[in-house]
Amino acid sequence: MKMKKLNLVIAVFIFSITASFAQIYNPVKWEVAFKKFSSTEATVYIKATIEDGWHIYSQTVGDGGPIATSFKYKASKDFALNGKTIEPKAKTKYEDVFKMNVPYFSKEVVFQQKVKLNAGKAAVSGTVEFMACDAERCLPPDEYAFTVNIK
């Protein structure tokens, strides 16, 4: 019986060490906020803070390029999207690996989504898909799930 417990303790220890090394590095931190302009209009702000040396791509990357940042919103009877998610003007650079100019953001970017409120308040939920790269490599595409409660 003592041998089984010892084997279990060793297995848990090895698993916990392996899991700690398997954590994925993420150089992008996300925050979500809102500003309510009236009982029927608000804007959701989705901010990416990007570590020095890293960047994420614009929503407007051309075919054959890297993974563009994209937004998906969960449907709700409490609100309707008013237009597409907008972004500030991106920097552009030529990337040999894609053989094209690609628009990107570094340091910080704030995306904005206008919403029409149907009941004066709403929980806006969605996901951002993005890919972070530095001068040497790109991380696998990642997603950030968010919810902001507009009151």
Instruction: For the chain, give every domain's residue range.
Output: 27-150
List Cβ<8 Å contacts ≥24 apart for 29-33: 30/128, 30/144, 30/146, 32/146, 32/147, 32/148, 33/148
Q: What is the pTM of this model?
A: 0.83
pLDDT of residue 57 exceeding 50 = yes
Q: Read off the pLDDT band of 12 (50, 70, 90).
A: very low
Query: The tokens 């937004």 sit on which residue?
Result: 71
pLDDT higher for 14 or 42? 42
Task: For the domain covering 27-150, report its CATH number.
Answer: 2.60.40.1250
